[in-house]
Amino acid sequence: ALVSMRQLLDHAAVNGYGIPAFNVNNLEQVQAIMMAADELNAPVIMQASAGARKYAGEHFLKHLIQAAVESYPHIPVVMHQDHGQSPAVCQGAIDLGFSSVMMDGSLEADGKTIASYEYNVDVTRKVVDMAHALGVTVEGELGCLGSLETMQGDKEDGHGTDAVMTHAELLTDPEQAADFVQRTQLDALAIAIGTSHGAYKFTRKPTGDILAIGRVKEIHARLPNTHLVMHGSSSVPQDLLAKIREFGGDMGQTFGVPVEEIQEAIKHGVRKINIDTDIRLAMTAAVREFFVKNPSKFDPREFLKPARDAAKSIVRQRFQEFGCEGQA
Ligand code: G3H
Ligand code: 13P
Ligand code: NA
Ligand code: ZN
């Protein structure tokens, strides 16, 4: 059934686990997530970015997720809008039937300019007012995602800012977080701790100076009842990078967020972990391998099936690692 995200995050908090929130754009990704969730009896958060809605079309995405709900009636499913850039965008998603929305007021509506704190409070509060009246969950974001190695913001695929920032801007402040939660009454808070979107997060396996799990602990100590969200949380498995290179891909050396660091964060209030890149890498590796090994094939089902299987396998792994098995 379609449920609100609040419901799932409350259950995760009481039972001490985290829920991966997977970005979806197409049929095979939705199927992969649902197959894995069904096998493990895990709760599902699927999220669509503005780019996803543009690629698939709003109605296709809505009905893909509704098809998932109908096909697996025993699995609770959240349909979440990722990175809404304005109250109007969130309103549009709610009208479309999303059960959860993110108002990302860390940047202004242009998606580039770092917003003032007051602006963020104002737009987030507006979305909370309209969403809560309808039982829809709201995620907000405080702090700017970006790298503590380069001190630059996260500008992936044309959205986000590549401005040079200070430590204070790149790490969510616990006191300000407490004020933000109190003034907006949001349900879940996305925090900045040195992660960024996409495959190129860290130039080495991250240590505490560039991936601030310590900051998660400080925020959780100050806000023990707030569900925390980690964006940019793909782990960028080295075996997938190796496979992509083996079968003709060109990807540089890079590191993601280690699963054990996410597991530590889950012990300290992180309940939603956003993952897009890992599914992209898994599907790309599978398709590349397929075409190298089967140069004469041309039926899309033949290359989409291994891509779907690869996506399902990484999704299964994250459900298990974050403690979702049997929690649906
Ligand atoms: O927010 C970042 C997600 O990975 C979505 O990416 O905007 O390319 O769909 P996208
Ligand atoms: P990744 O790029 O690390 O998968 O992060 C996805 C994300 O945060 C979507 O909002
Ligand atoms: Na989100
Ligand atoms: Zn994100």
Ligand 2 atom 9: residue of nearest CA: 274
Query: Would you state the pLDDT for residue 50?
Result: 93
CA 174/CA 218 separation, integer angstroms = 6
Q: Which residues are tagged catalytic? A: 82
Q: Look at phi and psi of residue 18 and say left if phi exceeds 0, alpha if psi is from -120 to 50, else beta.
A: beta
- Which residue shows structure tokens 């997938």? 240
Query: Would you state the pLDDT for residue 23?
Result: 98
Asked if 195 and 257 count as a contact pair (C-beta separation under 8 A), the reply is yes
Ligand 2, atom nearest to 156 Cα: 2
Residues 6+ apart with CB under 8 A from 301: none
Give me the torsion for CA of 254, 284, 82, 119, rounded to 10°: 40
How many Cβ atoms sit within 10 Å of the Cβ of residue 312?
22
Q: In the chain, where are the structural domains located?
A: 5-322
CA 160/CA 180 separation, integer angstroms = 21
Query: Would you state the pLDDT for residue 111?
Result: 85
Distance 101 CA to ligand 3 centre (A): 7
Cβ(234) – ligand 1 distance below 6 Å = no
Cβ(187) – ligand 1 distance below 6 Å = no
Going residue by residue through the chain, which has 328 residues, state the pLDDT in tens, using 9 for 90 and above.
Answer: 999 999 999 999 999 999 999 999 999 999 999 999 999 999 999 999 999 999 999 999 999 999 999 999 999 999 999 999 999 999 999 999 999 999 999 999 998 889 999 999 999 999 999 999 999 999 999 999 999 999 998 876 556 788 888 888 899 999 999 999 999 999 999 999 999 999 999 999 999 999 999 999 999 999 999 999 999 999 999 999 999 999 999 999 999 999 999 999 999 999 999 999 999 999 999 999 999 999 999 999 999 999 999 999 999 999 999 999 999 9
Distance 27 CA to ligand 4 centre (A): 21
Distance 273 CA to ligand 2 centre (A): 8
Query: Would you state the pLDDT for residue 19?
Result: 99
Fold exhibited by the domain 5-322 = TIM Barrel (3.20.20)
Surrounding residues of ion ligand 3, Cβ less than 5 A: 82, 102
Residues with CB under 6 A from ligand 2: 23, 82-83, 197-198, 231-234, 274-278
Query: Would you state the pLDDT for residue 127?
Result: 98
**What ligand has the least distance to the C-alpha of 45?**
3
**What ligand has the least distance to the C-alpha of 55?**
1
Ligand 1 atom 10: residue of nearest CA: 51
Kindly state the helix (H) or strand (E) to which residue 140 belongs, with its residue range. strand 137-142
For the chain, what is the radius of gyration of the CA atoms?
Answer: 19
Query: Would you state the pLDDT for residue 109?
Result: 93
Distance 292 CA to ligand 4 centre (A): 33
Query: Would you state the pLDDT for residue 159?
Result: 66
